[in-house]
Amino acid sequence: MRKNFARLVSLLFVFVFALSACGTPATTEVPAATDAPAATEAPVATEAAPTEAEPFVFGMLLVGPYNDGGWSQAHYEAGLYVEEKLGAKMIYLDKVNPADRPGTTPDQLAEELVAQGAKLVIFNSDDMKDASTTFAKANPDVYVIMASGDQVWSDGKAYEEISNLMNIMGRMEYGKMIAGCAAALSSTTGKIGYLGPLINDETRRLTASAYLGAKHCWEQAGNDPASLEFKVTWIGFWFHIPGFTTDPVDVSKDFYTTGYDVVISGIDNSVNLPEAKKITDEGTPVFAVAYDYINACDVAPDVCLGVPFFNWGPDYLKAIQSAADGSWQSQFLWNGPDWSDLNNHDTSAIGFVKGNALSAEDSATLDAFIADLAGGLNLWTGPINLQDGTPYLADGEVASDQQVWYLPQLLEGMQGLSASE
Amino acid sequence: MLKSRFSGLLFQLIALALSFGVVSLILISIDASPSEAFRNMFKGSFGEMRKFAEVLVAFVPLLLVTAGLLVTFSAGLWNIGVEGQVVLGAIATTWVYRYFLESDLPPALIITLAILGGMIGGAIWAAFTGILKVFGGVNEIFGGLGLNFVATALTIYLIFGPWKRPGVASMSGTIPFPDEFSLPLIENLRISPWALGIALIAIIIVFFLLQGTYFGLKLKAVGKNFRAAYLLGIPTWQYSMYSFLICGALAGLAGAMQVAAVYHRLIPSISSGYGYLGLMVAMLINYQAIWAIPVALFFAALNIGSIQLPIVMKLDSSLSGVLQGVLVLFALLVEGARQKFIKKGQNT
Amino acid sequence: MNVELKNINKHFGKVHANKDITLNIPSGTIQGILGENGAGKSTLMKILSGFIQADSGSQIILDGKSVVMNSPADAIQYGIGMLHQDPLDFPPMKILDNFLLGIPGSFFPNRKEATQDFNLLAKEYGFSLDPENYVDSLTVGERQQLEIMRLLFLGVRVFILDEPTTGISAAQKEKLFTTLKKFPEQAMTVIFVSHKLEDVESLCDRVAVLRAGQLVGTLNPPYQTKKIVEMMFGKEITLGERKPANVGEPVLSFDNISLEDARLRIKNINLEVREHEVIGLAGMEGSGQDLFMRACAGLVRPVGGKIQLKGQDLSGKSYHAFKQVGVNFLPAARLEEGLIPGLSLTDHFILAEQPRGIFIDRIAGQRLAEERIQSFNIRGTPLSPIESLSGGNQQRAELALLQNPLSLILLEHPTRGLDIESVIYIWSKLKERCHHGTSIIFISSDLEEILQYSDRVLVFFSGKVSQPLDANKTSVEELGQLIGGKGWAEIGDTHA
Please, what are the domains in chain A? Answer: 31-170+313-335 (3.40.50.2300), 173-309+352-415 (3.40.50.2300)
DSSP states along C432-485: HHHHTT-EEEEE-S-HHHHHHH-SEEEEEETTEEBPPEEGGG--HHHHHHHHTT
Q: Tens of pLDDT along B109-160?
A: 999 999 999 999 999 999 999 999 999 989 999 999 999 999 999 998 998 8
Cβ–Cβ gap C360/B234 under 8 Å = no
Of A11, A24, A237, the CB nearest to B170: A237
Of B164, B280, B312, the CB nearest to A14: B280
Q: Is residue B270 part of a domain?
A: yes
Contacts of A1 in chain C (CB under 8 A): 90
Q: Considering chain B, what is the average pLDDT of its residues? A: 90
- Rounded to the nearest angstrom, the minimum Cα separation between C90 and chain A is 8
- Rounded to the nearest angstrom, the minimum Cα separation between B109 and chain A is 25
- The DSSP code for C385 is B
Q: Rank A256-270, C127-141, C328-342, C381-395 by mean pLDDT and report only the highest.
A: A256-270
Q: Is residue B190 part of a domain?
A: yes
Cβ–Cβ gap C92/A2 under 8 Å = yes
Any CB–CB contact under 8 A between A42 and chain C? no
Nearest residue in chain B measured CA to CA from C388: B348
Contacts of B345 in chain C (CB under 8 A): 13
> Which tops the pLDDT comparison, A239 or C95?
A239
Q: Which pLDDT belongs to residue C85?
A: 53
Average pLDDT over residues C270-290: 87
- Rounded to the nearest angstrom, the minimum Cα separation between C300 and chain A is 26
- Residue A36 pLDDT level (bands cut at 50, 70, 90): very low
- Residue A41 pLDDT level (bands cut at 50, 70, 90): very low
Query: How far is C467 from C484, CA to CA, in rounded Å?
Result: 16
Q: Which pLDDT belongs to residue C492?
A: 62
Residue A294 pLDDT exceeds 60? yes
Residue A33 pLDDT exceeds 70? no
Any CB–CB contact under 8 A between A26 and chain C? no
Query: How far is A82 from A162, CA to CA, in rounded Å?
Result: 24
Q: Which pLDDT belongs to residue C105?
A: 57
Any CB–CB contact under 8 A between A1 and chain C? yes
Average pLDDT over residues C81-108: 66
Average pLDDT over residues A233-245: 87
Q: Tens of pLDDT along C148-192?
A: 888 887 888 898 988 777 667 777 788 888 888 888 887 889 999
Q: Tens of pLDDT along C57-90?
A: 888 998 888 888 888 888 888 889 888 655 555 5
Q: Which pLDDT belongs to residue A8?
A: 46
Q: Which pLDDT belongs to residue A247?
A: 94
Q: Which pLDDT belongs to residue A381?
A: 94
Cβ–Cβ gap A10/B269 under 8 Å = no
- Rounded to the nearest angstrom, the minimum Cα separation between C341 and chain A is 13
Q: Is residue B79 part of a domain?
A: yes
Of A202-206, A303-307, B47-51, give the lowest mean pLDDT range: B47-51
Chains that touch C (3 or more CB pairs under 8 A): A, B
Q: Which pLDDT belongs to residue A268?
A: 92
Cβ–Cβ gap C92/A1 under 8 Å = no
| Pair A305, A182: CB distance under 8 Å | yes
- Residue B288 pLDDT level (bands cut at 50, 70, 90): confident
Q: Which pLDDT belongs to residue A19?
A: 43
Pairing state of beta strands A332-335 and A165-170? parallel
Q: Tens of pLDDT along A72-99?
A: 999 999 999 999 999 999 999 999 988 8
Contacts of B259 in chain A (CB under 8 A): none
Q: Rank B77-81, B329-333, C241-245, C258-262 by mean pLDDT and report only the highest.
A: B77-81
Q: Which pLDDT belongs to residue C177?
A: 86
Q: Tens of pLDDT along A94-126?
A: 999 888 888 888 998 999 999 889 999 999 998
Query: Shortest CA distance to C53 belongs to which of C14, C12, C2, C102?
Result: C12
Split into its structural domains, chain B has a count of: 1
Residue C196 pLDDT exceeds 80? no
Q: Is residue B222 part of a domain?
A: yes
Q: Which pLDDT belongs to residue C486?
A: 73
Do C3-233 and C250-326+403-491 come out as alike in CATH topology?
yes
Residue A267 pLDDT exceeds 60? yes
Average pLDDT over residues C294-299: 91
Residue C48 pLDDT exceeds 70? yes
Q: Which pLDDT belongs to residue B247?
A: 97
**pTM beyond 0.90:** no
Which of A112, A146, A232 is best to mutate for the B interface (most B CBs within 10 A)?
A112
Beta carbon pairs, A and B, within 8 Å: 156
> Residue C255: what are its φ and ψ, rounded to 5°?
-120, 100
Q: Between helices C362-375 and C345-352, what is the axis angle to 10°? A: 100
3-class secondary-structure state, position B127: helix
> Which tops the pLDDT comparison, A48 or C477?
C477
Q: Which pLDDT belongs to residue A190?
A: 93
Average pLDDT over residues B22-32: 89
Share of chain A above pLDDT 70, in %: 87
**What letter represents residue C143's amino acid?**
R
Q: Which pLDDT belongs to residue C166?
A: 65
Contacts of C91 in chain A (CB under 8 A): 2
Show the CA angle centred on residue A201, arms to residues A198 and A205, nearest 5°: 95
Of A204-213, B183-192, C32-41, give the lowest mean pLDDT range: C32-41
Contacts of B228 in chain C (CB under 8 A): 336-340
Average pLDDT over residues B187-192: 87
Q: Rank A174-183, B316-325, C190-199, C234-243 by mean pLDDT and report only the highest.
A: A174-183
Contacts of C44 in chain B (CB under 8 A): none
User: For domain C250-326+403-491, which architecture applies?
Assistant: 3-Layer(aba) Sandwich (3.40)
**Cα–chain-centroid distance for residue B33?**
31
Of A190-194, B35-39, C221-225, C230-234, give the lowest mean pLDDT range: C230-234
| SS3 per residue for C38-68 | CCCHHHHHHHHCCCCCCCCCCEEEECCEEEC
Average pLDDT over residues A262-277: 94
Structural domain range at position B231: 56-286
3-class secondary-structure state, position B301: helix
- Rounded to the nearest angstrom, the minimum Cα separation between B193 and chain C is 30
Nearest residue in chain B measured CA to CA from A92: B311
- Rounded to the nearest angstrom, the minimum Cα separation between A17 and chain C is 28
Beta carbon pairs, B and C, within 8 Å: 76
Q: Rank B298-302, C108-112, C445-449 by mean pLDDT and report only the highest.
A: B298-302
**What letter represents residue C131's amino acid?**
P
- Residue A20 pLDDT level (bands cut at 50, 70, 90): very low
Cβ–Cβ gap B169/A417 under 8 Å = yes
Residue C246 pLDDT exceeds 70? no
Q: Which pLDDT belongs to residue A331?
A: 94
Share of chain B above pLDDT 70, in %: 97
- The DSSP code for C379 is S
Of A295-309, C237-251, C475-489, give the lowest mean pLDDT range: C237-251
Residue A35 pLDDT exceeds 50? no
**What letter represents residue A69's amino acid?**
G
Q: Which pLDDT belongs to residue A38?
A: 41
Residues of chain C in Cβ contact (below 8 Å) with chain A? 90-92
Q: Which pLDDT belongs to residue B182?
A: 92
Q: Which pLDDT belongs to residue C241?
A: 47
Cβ–Cβ gap C12/B214 under 8 Å = no
Q: Tens of pLDDT along B212-244?
A: 899 999 999 999 999 889 988 889 999 999 999
| Helix H or strand E segment including A366 | helix A360-374
Query: Shortest CA distance to C275 belongs to which of C441, C429, C452?
Result: C441
**What letter represents residue B195's amino acid?**
A
Q: Tens of pLDDT along C345-374?
A: 999 998 888 777 888 888 888 999 998 888
Average pLDDT over residues A294-308: 94
Query: How far is C196 from C395, CA to CA, in rounded Å?
Result: 18
Of B78, B325, B332, the CB nearest to A19: B325
| Pair A270, A290: CB distance under 8 Å | yes
> Which tops the pLDDT comparison, A21 or C340?
C340
- Rounded to the nearest angstrom, the minimum Cα separation between C336 and chain B is 7
For the domain made up of C3-233, give the CATH fold.
Answer: Rossmann fold (3.40.50)
- Residue C200 pLDDT level (bands cut at 50, 70, 90): confident
Residue C260 pLDDT exceeds 80? yes
Chains that touch B (3 or more CB pairs under 8 A): A, C
Residues of chain C in Cβ contact (below 8 Å) with chain B? 12-13, 15, 17, 52, 319-320, 323, 329, 331, 335-343, 347-348, 350-352, 354-360, 362, 383, 401
Query: Shortest CA distance to B264 belongs to which of A97, A134, A139, A140?
Result: A134
Residue A182 pLDDT exceeds 80? yes
Contacts of A91 in chain B (CB under 8 A): 311
- Residue C103 pLDDT level (bands cut at 50, 70, 90): low
Q: Considering chain C, what is the average pLDDT of its residues? A: 82
Count of Cβ atoms closer than 10 Å to residue B201 Cβ: 11
Q: Which pLDDT belongs to residue A43?
A: 41
Average pLDDT over residues A33-59: 55
| Helix H or strand E segment including C177 | helix C170-182
Contacts of B229 in chain C (CB under 8 A): 340, 351
Domain ranges in chain C are: 3-233, 250-326+403-491
- Rounded to the nearest angstrom, the minimum Cα separation between B74 and chain C is 11
Nearest residue in chain C measured CA to CA from A5: C90
Cβ–Cβ gap C340/B228 under 8 Å = yes
Of B213, B230, B231, the CB nearest to C360: B213
- Residue A49 pLDDT level (bands cut at 50, 70, 90): very low
> Which tops the pLDDT comparison, A322 or C243?
A322
Count of Cβ atoms closer than 10 Å to residue B205 Cβ: 14
Q: Which pLDDT belongs to residue A28?
A: 37
Cβ–Cβ gap A24/B316 under 8 Å = yes
Of B214, B229, B233, the CB nearest to C340: B229
